[in-house]
C-alpha cells in the first residue's frame, strides 16, 4: 500500500474506476466549455434560465430541482380609474419571464363579492419584455355601481403554477348621473270661452302659453319658448327665457304672456294666404336642449287687410261704409266693433262663407255717424251660434287667448264732423 506526501494511505484502484473518473472529468470540461461560449453570447439571467430548465444536473449521481423563477411584472393601472358600469375599461400589463406561460386576468365584481375571469392569453417571448393591453367591453354589472373593483393576473408556466400578481386597485364604479331631462305637459284652459278660442287665431292675435314642467334632477334651468313660424319656416324664440329651479317629482307652471305666433305676417301681408289653415306649433328649450315633443299651437283661421272707409270724413248723422278684405279657412261670423271712449259697441255681424279656396273677399258694413269712433277691431267666431262656440273645446290645449276680442290693430276710424251738422240744424 502506498502512502502519499500528506500521510494518507492510498487504496488500490482498478482500471475500470480510473476510466470512469476520466470520463466524468471529460464531460465536466465539455459542459463548462459550452457554457463559457454561451455566456459570451447571452445575458446571465437567460443563461441561468436555460441551465435550470435542463431536466437536471448530475451531482454525485443525483439531480438538482428546477428553480421557480418569478417573472418581472409591472401593471400600469386601469383606464379610466373611475367610471360607470356601463362603460369599457382597459387593463395594462408589462411582463418579462423566463419561460412561456399562460396568463389570466381576473376582476373583482362588487355586486357578487367574487372574482371573475375575463381574459386569457399566452406569453411567448422568454427573456423579453412584453406589454399587453386588454380592453374589456362593459365588464361590470349595473348592481356593482358605487363599489370599488380590483384586478389581478394569474401566472402559470408549468413550473411556477397559479402564481398571483396583485390584486391592484381600480376602477371605482361611480353611480351614473342621469342626463338632465325636463318633461312638459299642456294645461287645459278652465274657462269655456278661452277653450273655444284656442283654435281661433288671426295674424295679430295674442295668446298666453302655459305649460307644466318637471325634471329628473334638482337644478336650475333656463327655459325658453320656441314658436314655429310657418311663413319663414323656422323656430323663433318668443318672449324671454325663464330661470326656473326644478325639483324631481314637482311640477312647476310656466306662462309666457301676450305672444303673437303669426306676428311676422304683418310684414308679409301679400303672402298671408299661404299660411291660412296652418298651425303655429310650439315647444321649449332647456339647458340648450330642445324638448322631445312639439305641441300643436293655434291655427291661423282668418286674416284682414286693406280696410277702407267711404267717405273718410262724414257729417254727424250721415251714413258711411266700412269695408275690409277677409280670407279664412272656414265659415265665420265677423263682427265690426268700435270704441267710443267709454266702451265697445257692435255695428253688426257679417257672414264669411268659405268657398274651398283661400281668396280675399270684401265684407262691408253700413254705418251711421251717431257716435264717436276712436278705435276699431274685428271679432270673429265659428259659423255656428255663440252658444255652440262657447261650448267648443279646442284641440290645442295649453294655449289660451288673452280675451274674447282680438287684440287691437291700427285700423282706420272715420272722421265724424258733428259740429257742422249741428250748425245746419
- Asked whether this chain's domains 72-173 and 182-290 adopt the same fold, the reply is yes
Name beta bridge partners: 401: 207
User: What's the rounded mean pLDDT across residues 289-310?
Assistant: 86
| Triad 366, 372, 374: Cα angle to 5° | 95
Which pLDDT score is estimated for 141?
Answer: 94
**Whole-Å CA distances, 197 to 253, 255, 337, 394:** 21, 18, 18, 7
C-alpha cell of residue 229: 313660424
Which pLDDT score is estimated for 24?
Answer: 53
Which pLDDT score is estimated for 246?
Answer: 94
Q: Report the alpha-carbon distance of residue 199 to residue 16 in Å, rounded.
A: 124
384 falls in which pLDDT band (50, 70, 90)?
low
Q: To which residue does cell 325636463 refer?
A: 182
Statement: residue 75 has pLDDT above 60: yes
Which pLDDT score is estimated for 197?
Answer: 38
Q: Which residues contact 421 (CB under 8 A, 6 or more apart)?
A: 315, 316, 317, 318
Q: Report the alpha-carbon distance of residue 373 to residue 191 in Å, rounded.
A: 31
- On whether the pTM is more than 0.75, the answer is no
Element (H, E) at 48: helix 44-52
Higher pLDDT, 45 or 359: 359
**No. of helices (H) and no. of strands (E), the chain:** 5, 27
62 falls in which pLDDT band (50, 70, 90)?
low
302 falls in which pLDDT band (50, 70, 90)?
confident
Q: List the chain domain ranges.
A: 18-67, 72-173, 182-290, 302-392+403-423
* CATH code of the region 182-290: 2.60.40
Q: Report the alpha-carbon distance of residue 339 to residue 409 in Å, rounded.
A: 13
Q: Report the alpha-carbon distance of residue 198 to residue 282 in Å, rounded.
A: 14
User: What's the rounded mean pLDDT across residues 385-392?
Assistant: 40
Please give the share of the chain, as a percent, with pLDDT higher than 90. 42
Given a contact cutoff of 8 angstroms between Cβ atoms, the answer to whether 214 and 249 are in contact is: yes
Residue 70 per-residue DSSP state:
P
C-alpha cell of residue 148: 370599488
Name beta bridge partners: 232: none
Q: Which residues of 325-338 are buried (b: 16+ CB within 10 A; e: fewer)?
A: bbbbbbebbbbbbb
Q: Report the alpha-carbon distance of residue 398 to residue 227 in Å, rounded.
A: 13
Higher pLDDT, 158 or 268: 158
220 falls in which pLDDT band (50, 70, 90)?
very high
Q: Report the alpha-carbon distance of residue 130 to residue 94 in Å, rounded.
A: 6
346 falls in which pLDDT band (50, 70, 90)?
very high
Q: Report the alpha-carbon distance of residue 379 to residue 339 in Å, rounded.
A: 13
For the sheet containing 319-328, what is the strand order?
302-310, 319-328, 361-368
- Please give the mean pLDDT across all residues of the chain: 78
Q: Say how many Å lie between the first and final Cα of the chain, rounded.
A: 182
User: What's the rounded mean pLDDT across residues 281-285?
Assistant: 92
Give the E-state strand segments of 124-187 in sequence order. Answer: 130-136, 148-156, 163-173, 182-186
Q: Say whether domain 72-173 belongs to CATH 2.60.40.10.
A: yes
Q: Report the alpha-carbon distance of residue 69 to residue 305 in Å, rounded.
A: 98
Topology (CATH level 3) of domain 302-392+403-423: Immunoglobulin-like (2.60.40)
Identify the CA nearest to 93 among candidates 152, 133, 149, 139: 133
Which pLDDT score is estimated for 366?
Answer: 96
User: What's the rounded mean pLDDT across residues 239-256?
Assistant: 92
Which pLDDT score is estimated for 40?
Answer: 47
Which pLDDT score is estimated for 48?
Answer: 42
Q: Calculate the dihedral angle through the C-alpha atoms of 7, 11, 17, 21, rounding to the nearest 10 degrees.
A: -10
Amino acid at each position: 500500500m502506498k502512502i502519499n506526501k500528506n500521510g494518507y494511505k492510498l487504496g488500490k484502484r482498478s482500471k475500470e474506476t480510473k476510466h470512469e473518473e476520466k470520463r466524468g472529468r471529460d464531460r465536466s470540461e465539455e459542459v463548462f466549455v459550452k457554457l463559457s461560449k454561451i455566456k459570451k453570447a447571452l445575458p446571465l439571467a437567460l443563461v441561468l434560465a436555460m441551465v435550470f430548465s435542463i431536466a437536471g444536473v448530475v451531482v454525485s449521481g443525483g439531480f438538482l430541482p428546477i428553480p421557480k423563477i418569478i417573472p418581472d411584472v409591472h401593471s400600469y393601472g386601469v383606464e379610466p380609474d373611475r367610471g360607470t358600469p356601463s362603460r369599457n375599461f382597459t387593463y395594462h400589463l408589462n411582463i418579462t419571464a423566463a419561460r412561456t406561460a399562460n396568463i389570466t386576468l381576473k376582476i373583482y365584481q362588487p355586486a357578487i363579492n367574487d372574482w371573475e375571469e375575463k381574459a386569457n392569453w399566452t406569453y411567448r417571448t422568454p427573456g423579453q419584455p412584453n406589454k399587453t393591453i386588454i380592453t374589456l367591453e362593459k365588464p361590470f354589472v349595473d348592481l356593482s355601481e358605487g363599489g370599488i373593483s380590483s384586478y389581478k393576473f394569474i401566472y402559470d408556466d408549468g413550473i411556477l403554477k397559479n402564481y398571483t400578481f396583485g390584486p391592484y386597485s381600480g376602477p371605482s364604479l361611480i353611480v351614473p348621473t342621469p342626463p338632465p331631462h325636463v318633461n312638459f305637459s299642456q294645461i287645459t284652459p278652465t274657462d269655456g270661452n278661452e277653450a273655444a278660442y284656442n283654435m281661433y287665431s288671426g295674424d295679430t292675435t295674442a295668446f298666453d302659453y302655459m305649460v307644466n314642467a318637471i325634471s329628473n334632477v334638482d337644478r336650475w334651468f333656463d327655459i325658453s319658448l320656441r314658436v314655429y313660424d310657418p311663413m319663414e319656416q323656422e323656430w323663433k324664440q318668443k318672449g324671454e327665457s325663464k330661470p326656473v329651479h326644478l325639483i324631481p317629482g314637482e311640477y312647476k307652471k310656466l306662462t309666457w304672456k301676450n305672444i303673437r305666433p303669426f306676428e311676422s305676417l304683418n310684414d308679409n301681408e301679400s303672402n298671408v294666404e299661404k299660411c291660412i289653415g296652418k298651425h303655429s306649433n310650439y315647444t321649449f328649450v332647456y339647458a340648450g336642449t330642445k324638448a322631445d315633443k312639439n305641441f300643436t299651437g293655434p291655427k291661423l283661421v282668418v286674416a284682414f287687410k286693406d280696410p277702407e272707409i267711404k267717405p273718410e270724413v262724414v257729417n254727424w248723422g250721415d251714413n258711411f261704409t266700412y269695408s275690409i278684405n277677409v280670407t279664412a279657412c272656414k265659415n265665420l261670423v265677423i263682427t265690426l266693433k268700435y270704441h267710443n271712449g267709454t266702451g265697445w259697441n257692435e255695428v253688426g255681424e257679417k257672414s264669411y262663407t268659405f268657398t274651398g279656396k283661400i281668396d280675399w273677399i270684401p265684407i262691408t258694413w253700413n254705418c251711421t255717424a251717431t257716435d264717436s269712433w276712436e278705435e276699431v277691431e274685428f271679432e270673429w267666431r265659428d259659423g255656428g251660434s255663440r252658444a255652440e262656440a262657447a261650448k267648443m273645446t279646442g284641440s290645442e290645449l295649453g294655449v289660451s287667448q288673452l280675451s274674447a276680442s282680438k287684440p287691437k290693430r291700427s285700423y282706420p276710424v272715420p272722421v265724424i264732423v258733428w259740429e257742422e251738422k249741428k250748425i245746419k240744424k
